[in-house]
Amino acid sequence: MGILLELHDTDDQEVQSPSVELSKIAVSSAHGEDSPYFSGWKAYDENPYHEIHNPSGVIQMGLAENQVSFDLVEEYLEKHSEKALFGKKTNSGFRDNALFQDYHGLLSFRKAMASFMEQIRGGRAKFEPTRIVLTAGATAANELLTFILANPGDALLIPTPYYPGFDRDLRWRTGVNIVPIHCESSNNFAITPEALEAAYETARGLNLRVAGVLITNPSNPLGATIQRKVLNEILNFVVEKNIHLISDEIYSGSVFSSSEFVSMAEILEDRKYKNNEKERVHIVYSLSKDLGLPGFRVGTIYSYNDKVVTTARRMSSFTLISSQTQHLLACMLSDEKFVEKYIRINRERLKRRYEMIVNGLREAGIECLKGNAGLFCWMNLGPFLEDPTMESELEIWKLIVNEVKLNISPGSSCHCSEPGWFRVCFANMSENTLEVALKRIRDFVDKMEWKRGGRKPISGNGAGDCKPN
Amino acid sequence: MKLLSRKGAICNTHGQDTPYFLGWQEYEKNPYDEVRNPNGIIQMGLAENQLSFDRLESWLAANPDAAGFKKNGVSIFRDLALFQDYHGLPSFKKAMTDFMSDIRGNKVEFDPKNLVLMAGATSANEALIFSLGAGEGDALLLPTPYYPGFDRDLKWRTKAEIVPIICSSSNGFQITKSALEKAYKTAGKKNLKVKGILVTNPSNPLGTTISKEELNLLVDFIDKKQIDLISDEIYSATVFNSPEFTSIMEILEERKLRDTQLWNRVHIVYSLSKDLGLPGFRVGAIYSNNPTVVGTATKMSSFGLVSSQTQHLLGEMLSDKIFTQNYLSENQKRLKKRQEQLVSGLKNAGIHCLKGNAGLFTWVDMSHLLKNKTFEAEMDLWKKIVYQVGLNISPGSSCHCSEPGWFRVCFANMSEATLDLAMVRLKDFVDSLLTSSTSTSTSTSAERRVYKTKSGSRWKLFKWICGLMFDKREQDEWIDNYCF
């Protein structure tokens, strides 16, 4: 009883057509790797830009990495390598560390993480080390929470546009569904109570039990923080429906101005940590974006629900953080001087990069959503589309990848309900490369205008006027 | 508050309520320490390899670049910090596969492309089950006794079931054809579809290598039933006596099964937690010749990648072939010596064990000390050993052994002196059992004798030196971690 199937594989090696039945999980496309998000990467991989060796290559602007503050981390390592890296003298720490596989995680590291998270929030919220569960990256944290909070077949409500990786992280092995909370450019993609309710009804209409709401704050791909008023409304909503709330705050340290970020932790604090409110709130964090260390696999779940903490901790056995890495980061993040300096300078640099790209795009006649956080801007090419359709969006995207040679992420891969929006990353390259990218865009827009007979782009879909946040 | 998911909260197949974990808890409340707590419980339930750290430490001291994010003297910190490619660091994968080959005497060659890295064998085993599509309604056949952690790792989130292949002491717990058939039938009766067999070779808890005959039997069986075979070879470098270790891959090569359908159905799980003694670093791997399984598992490894910092360090270390050759042979010698110390100590107490040639533990027969041949009696004996004798060992029932009275006793996670002490305590206990006229379970609160170690003064000197190196904060943290 063989079922011959061809698998779409991103590897180079040829996939044999198997003659035995494949598991559902193997053939499921819920790993999400067939979307443009990933095929843009391919174009880059095949022809990557290099300032000297390949100046006409594809510039990677689809990767939300923070490369602007490495020097600060390197400086720290230079000064403290003996302690942080099991130098020659403190070699005896190596043994205990190598044996340490306790799923509670190194206490010193949890304390350092709690303190780091507090400092990012300007001390406006407190985090207890005993509630921190460590996982190998936010990818693992989000999946783990989904396993715990939702049953197969249940639904998580997620505001659009959202990070394409969620399609895989939250659905693939868990069997949970995502139902979008549609957000629109008319109010800068803010989440509204009506949209929340509509998503809930949609899920119920599909006979799906709603397990919770997942928000990313600051938002990916919008590059903007969620307002206090909206956060309160979301909390009211989940309380009313008696469901969970996951707040992925992975970009919280990348807000350009500290005072503009309001964490779900602060909302709970404001509302005096009412039992029936805090029990349903879970915060996800990671060092991949704020510290620029995605390779080290450091994620956390912070939950106010004891049962969730206990279960998540046990489940984290499947995804523990290397004790070697925990030790290094415990040293680094408990260094208050370093942390203060890093958070401050990182913010300044990201802000500067953001302004550079937004102004550069504006010079080319392209507007972006007003952002205040993150490693990317949300760019509006709506006025340049042939038609206000997803097909036109993909057409222009292909042009940008193949002719302008910039890998950016089309809004459709982020499930945006309006065509024409693109996420453009700015923190994973040098300023020179960013200048090159901006020049290419300017040239591209000029060419497009020439094609249209010199007409300026019409702000057709109402999104051209971006109101301040 | 509201319900959490069935899978997460209510289901207790995380296995945290078994004696295996309860014994750990007792230990953590009252851990033995030569100076601070000489009457505490000695941890003999933890399969850790602590015998060869000095080798690792001296390599680190001689090669500071590896831990210092440098390669050939140049900093590669940025590249490592950004490296999250689920294909893994190529230099590390090459070093891993070479290492795996070396362990097998280079009788098998492994292709790095077929290796998928994951955060520990715990992670790798689970991901492999998911990748094979085993889930609700499916069964995996495992020979008993088996590692208690499998109940959680293979079943919890996948919802697959485990059906035991019952092995008996009558033939040294070897796997037989009839046991395999019986297990397969049992699964059918429970309406479960058998997806595959998982064996641990060398075996945990038996401490023995699986024989060629058994391996051939397994290959025949999976061929006949058209199912998969997972060989967890996590202890492959801990083989210290004959018979030599035979990897399942060798059998496939010998039988010229390369590139056949069967070739695609056999998968290996590996890790550096036991062989190198680095469980904290979370380095596990799936090795498969099946491109679909490799492809699926690779994507799935996103949920448990190995830290790039660790990949680099160990990539450098394992690429040093002189180091690895020396390490492997020295490690074997030390394990052999330590096991002999345990076995002779047990013999001295009139206790026999299965003849082991591998692993970090010995499979011990204490059935003659049971009140009666029941698992209740085994539990009684176990409790006495934990609470009265002060040794945390693992009862066979927690490993799903079908015969009461067997225990797994670890030997590689303590000093020689501590092992000596453990044997003294055990002998005293056995002597008291055999000389007392009534059952010791009726005796009043046990008196725990104070045991002095021979190396008391040496220990004090060592501690003084440590005090110069560790600061108090690190010492306190150590205590915190164990008493958390």
Residues of A with CB below 8 A from B64's CB?
A: 87-88
Asked if the Cβ–Cβ distance from A322 to B307 is below 8 Å, we say yes
- Considering B274, B287, B351, B385, which one is annotated as catalytic? B274
**Which residues make beta-bridge pairs with B41?**
B31
- Considering A289, A366, A408, A441, which one is annotated as catalytic? A289
* Rounded distance between C-alpha atoms, residue A181 and residue A159, angstroms: 4
- Report the residue of chain B nearest A323, measured CA to CA: B280
Residue numbers of B between 301 and 320 with CB closer than 8 Å to A: 302-310, 313
Q: Choose the closest CB to A320 out of B48, B119, B293.
A: B119
Residues of B with CB below 8 A from A26's CB?
A: 131, 133, 292-293, 295-296
Who wins on pLDDT, A452 or B25?
Answer: B25
Position A257 scores a pLDDT of 87
- A209-239: pLDDT as tens digits: 999 999 999 999 999 999 999 999 999 999 9
Q: Choose the closest CB to B281 out of A20, A288, A322.
A: A322
Q: What is the mean pLDDT of residues A350-365?
A: 96
Residues of chain B under the 70 pLDDT cut: 1-20, 437-484
Asked if the Cβ–Cβ distance from B299 to A20 is below 8 Å, we say no
SS (H, E, C) A14-26: CCCCCCCCCCHHH
- Report the residue of chain B nearest A319, measured CA to CA: B304
- B238-287: pLDDT as tens digits: 999 999 999 999 999 999 999 999 999 999 999 999 999 999 999 999 99
Q: Is the dihedral of CA B209, B214, B219, B225 positive or negative?
A: negative
Mutation for B interface: A209, A320, A331, most B CBs within 10 A: A320
Examine the residue annotation and report whether A289 is marked as an active-site residue of this protein.
yes
| Percent of residues, chain A, with pLDDT higher than 70 | 86
Asked if the Cβ–Cβ distance from A13 to B291 is below 8 Å, we say yes
Half-sphere exposure of B45 (CA within 13 A, CB side): 28
- A317-338: pLDDT as tens digits: 999 999 999 999 999 999 999 9
> A53 with B329: CB under 8 angstroms?
no
> Strand ranges (DSSP E) for A86-209?
132-135, 155-159, 177-181
* Rounded distance between C-alpha atoms, residue B116 and residue B298, angstroms: 6
Q: Is the ipTM of this complex over 0.85?
A: yes
CA A307 to each of CA A106, A264, A280, A311, A312: distance values in angstroms, whole numbers, following the listed order = 21, 19, 11, 6, 8
Whole-number average pLDDT of chain B:
89
Whole-number average pLDDT of chain A:
89
The whole-model pTM stands at 0.89
How many CB atoms are closer than 10 A to CB A405?
19
**Which residues make beta-bridge pairs with A367?**
A380
Position A419 scores a pLDDT of 97
- A137-196: pLDDT as tens digits: 999 999 999 999 999 999 999 999 999 999 999 999 999 999 999 999 999 999 999 999
* Rounded distance between C-alpha atoms, residue B113 and residue B294, angstroms: 8
Examine the residue annotation and report whether B222 is marked as an active-site residue of this protein.
no
Position A468 scores a pLDDT of 43
- Omega prior to B112 cis, within 30 of 0: no
The string of DSSP codes covering A177-189 is EEEEE---GGGTT
* Rounded distance between C-alpha atoms, residue A416 and residue A414, angstroms: 5
Q: What is the mean pLDDT of residues A107-126?
A: 96
Half-sphere exposure of A307 (CA within 13 A, CB side): 16
Position B479 scores a pLDDT of 36
Q: Choose the closest CB to A90 out of B56, B126, B469.
A: B469
Question: How close does chain A come to B97, measured CA to CA in Å?
Answer: 18
User: Is some CB atom of chain A closer than 8 A to the CB atom of B68?
Assistant: yes
Say how many CB pairs under 8 Å bridge A and B. 254
- Considering A37, A76, A163, A251, which one is annotated as catalytic? A163
Position B433 scores a pLDDT of 86
Examine the residue annotation and report whether A341 is marked as an active-site residue of this protein.
no
Position B283 scores a pLDDT of 98
Which residues have C-beta within 8 Å of that of residue B200, sequence separation ≥ 6? B146, B147, B231, B232, B233, B234, B235
Examine the residue annotation and report whether A304 is marked as an active-site residue of this protein.
no
Render the burial of A352-375: b for 16+ CB within 10 Å, e for the rest: ebbeebbebbeeebbbbbbbbbbb
* Rounded distance between C-alpha atoms, residue B209 and residue B232, angstroms: 12
Asked if the Cβ–Cβ distance from A295 to B82 is below 8 Å, we say yes
**Which residues make beta-bridge pairs with A302?**
A132, A283
DSSP assignment, residue A245? E
Asked if the Cβ–Cβ distance from A98 to B9 is below 8 Å, we say no
Helix (H) or strand (E) holding A328: helix A323-333
Which residues have C-beta within 8 Å of that of residue B149, sequence separation ≥ 6? B15, B20, B122
> A220 with A65: CB under 8 angstroms?
no
Residues of B with CB below 8 A from A143's CB?
A: 303
Tell me the longest C-alpha to C-alpha distance in chain A. Answer: 73
Residues of B with CB below 8 A from A280's CB?
A: 1-2
Q: Residue written as tokens 């596989």?
A: A101
